[in-house]
């Protein structure tokens, strides 16, 4: 650097250093003479809590579905095969016990009966002749006009004629039974709900013709699963739900048989009040409460927080005697793992690492984390 540049540079450096030293002095003076800082308490989040109490178990309501059905519902057909001659009723027809519903063509059977009537007349004529012959034989046997052999033959001829008459009568009776079975009668009072065949059809034995449903008050069949069937008491009145309405029904019987597929036991109910709107096929439900012996705690469902691996947890506000001086808090949040056993509406029954009178944080779980200091609203620290 030449003497010419040094001549101008040194005065500028001296001036800058003088200004810097002056500024530093002013800052130090302000620090020494300013007021000391005040220590303020850090704000602590208030939380809603609930005090839990242990329970020996919980009551669970189980819902079972049933169906309304007629007490008697029969699909009717003929015991004999043949051509369907006539059907006297249609769907919706009201029938009474013994009313004629349908008939088979009986021309062939009637012809057989006529033949048997002729055979019976012949057998009766033969019997009359045998009786007359025997009577004459008995009158002359003592006079030696006929041998004992001839009398025996007359006796046996009379017996054979009687047997022929009886055989003809039995054959006619058998045909009469067949004629009667060619007519289909209503087995009970009810309504025809299905007509399954029309005139002219050649039927097999037992082929369905009509379906008749009993017209009296229907019954209700409910399948009850598990051990709940043992709670039912025959004769007691239970409340069932039908079309969002309450229905009272008396339990008539619990069948001693468990259905193989659904593993349920059928319970039969009779409606207490006659309800014409209650129709076979309607769905009803039965609610049965049952107590489960399982120690645990009831919690509001909002107190649950989801953890890792599908586990659930709750946040417990644990009291601390000495909180940090900078905090206006008396509780510290701790996480406990619980197992949800049962849910009912807006609360859950859990078991896990909880103790009597623990304070459970019920709302605002997304704002706090384990280890955080809080104040509870029930302590009046709002």
Distances from the Cα of 314 to the Cα of 7, 16, 35, 58, 106, angstroms: 80, 65, 47, 20, 83
Per the confidence metrics, is the pTM higher than 0.85?
A: no
CATH architecture entry for 64-71+216-291: Beta Barrel (2.40)
Whether 74-212 and 64-71+216-291 are alike in CATH topology: the answer is: no
pLDDT digits (tens, 9 = 90+) for 79-122: 999 999 999 999 999 999 999 999 999 988 889 999 999 999 99
Q: Any idea which fold 46-58+294-379 has?
A: 2.40.420
Condensed to tens digits (0 to 9), the pLDDT of residues 51-79 reads: 999 999 998 888 999 999 999 999 999 99
C-alpha torsion sign, points 76, 78, 84, 87:
negative
| Helix, strand, coil abundance in the chain, percent, nearest 5 | 30, 40, 30
Token pair 């859990």 is found at: 350
φ, ψ of residue 178 to 5 degrees: the values are -65, -40
- Residue for token digits 């691996």? 309
Q: pLDDT, tens digit, for every residue of 116-128?
A: 999 999 988 988 8
Contact 235, 112 (CB under 8 A): no
3-state secondary structure of 88: coil
H helices of the chain, in order, are 3-33, 107-140, 148-181
- The domain ranges of the chain are 46-58+294-379, 64-71+216-291, 74-212
Read off the pLDDT of residues 137-169 as tens digits, 9 standing for 90 and up: 776 766 666 667 777 777 888 888 899 999 999
Q: What's the CATH class of domain 74-212?
A: mainly beta
How far, in Å, are 144, 157, 160 from residue 153 at the CA level?
16, 6, 10
Nearest to 302 by CA among 2, 47, 29: 47
pLDDT (tens digit, 9 = 90+) per residue, 23-57?
444 333 443 444 444 444 456 788 899 999 999 99
């Amino acid at each position: 650097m030449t003497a010419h540049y040094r001549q101008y540079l040194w005065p500028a450096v001296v001036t800058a250093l003088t200004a810097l030293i002056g500024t530093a002095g002013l800052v130090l003076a302000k620090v020494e003479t300013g007021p000391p800082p005040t220590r303020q308490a850090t704000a602590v989040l208030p939380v809603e809590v609930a005090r839990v109490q242990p329970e020996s178990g919980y009551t669970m309501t189980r819902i079972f579905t049933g169906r309304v059905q007629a007490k008697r519902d029969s699909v009717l057909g003929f015991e004999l095969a043949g051509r369907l001659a006539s059907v006297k009723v249609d769907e919706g027809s009201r029938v009474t016990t013994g009313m004629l519903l349908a008939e088979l063509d009986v021309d062939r059977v009637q012809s057989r009966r006529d033949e048997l009537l002729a055979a019976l007349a012949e057998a009766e004529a033969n019997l009359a002749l045998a009786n007359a012959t025997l009577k004459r034989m008995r009158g002359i046997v003592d006079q030696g006009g006929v041998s004992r052999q001839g009398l025996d033959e007359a006796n046996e001829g009379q017996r054979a004629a009687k047997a022929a008459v009886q055989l003809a009568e039995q054959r006619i009776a058998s045909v009469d039974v067949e004629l009667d079975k060619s007519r289909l009668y209503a087995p009970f009072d009810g309504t025809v709900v299905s007509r399954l065949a029309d005139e002219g059809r050649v039927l097999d034995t037992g082929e369905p013709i009509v379906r008749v449903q009993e017209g009296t008050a229907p019954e209700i069949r409910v399948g009850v699963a598990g051990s709940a069937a043992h709670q039912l008491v025959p004769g007691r009145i239970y409340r069932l739900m039908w079309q969002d309405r309450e229905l009272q029904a008396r339990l008539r019987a619990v069948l001693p048989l468990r259905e193989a597929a659904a593993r349920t036991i059928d319970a039969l109910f009779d409606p207490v009040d006659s309800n014409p709107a209650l129709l076979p096929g309607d769905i009803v439900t039965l609610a049965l409460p049952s107590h489960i012996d399982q120690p645990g705690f009831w919690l509001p469902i909002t107190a649950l927080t989801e953890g890792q691996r599908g586990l659930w947890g709750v946040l417990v506000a644990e009291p601390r005697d000495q909180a940090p001086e900078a905090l206006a808090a008396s509780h510290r949040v701790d996480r406990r793992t619980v197992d949800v056993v049962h849910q009912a509406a807006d609360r859950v029954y859990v078991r896990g690492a909880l103790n009597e009178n623990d304070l459970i944080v019920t709302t605002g779980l997304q704002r706090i984390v384990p280890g955080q200091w809080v104040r509870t609203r029930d302590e009046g620290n709002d």
